[in-house]
Amino acid sequence: MKYNPLPFIIPCHRVIKADGTPGQYGGGTAMKQMIINMERVMSNE
């Protein structure tokens, strides 16, 4: 899912590898982790 042409329709940033690591993301691993963290905060509110 590294190259997703529709990131807002198919939320590929939520794909996590079986070993728990974030894996690849077109915007970079740091961006992927930031988006996941933001969603985690929003879901806890």
Q: Return per-residue pLDDT of the chain as tens, 45 residues.
A: 567 777 778 787 888 889 988 888 878 888 888 888 888 887 776
Contact between 13 and 35 (Cβ < 8 Å): yes
**Strand stretches in the chain, DSSP E:** none
**Domain interval for residue 27:** 12-44
Q: Is 7 a catalytic residue?
A: no
The single residue of 1, 12, 35, 36 carrying the catalytic annotation is 12
Looking at the structure of the chain, the number of domains it has is 1
Q: What is the pTM of this model?
A: 0.62
Whether residue 6 is contained in a domain is answered as: no
What pLDDT is recorded for position 19? 95
Whether residue 3 is contained in a domain is answered as: no
Whether residue 36 is contained in a domain is answered as: yes
Whether residue 20 is contained in a domain is answered as: yes
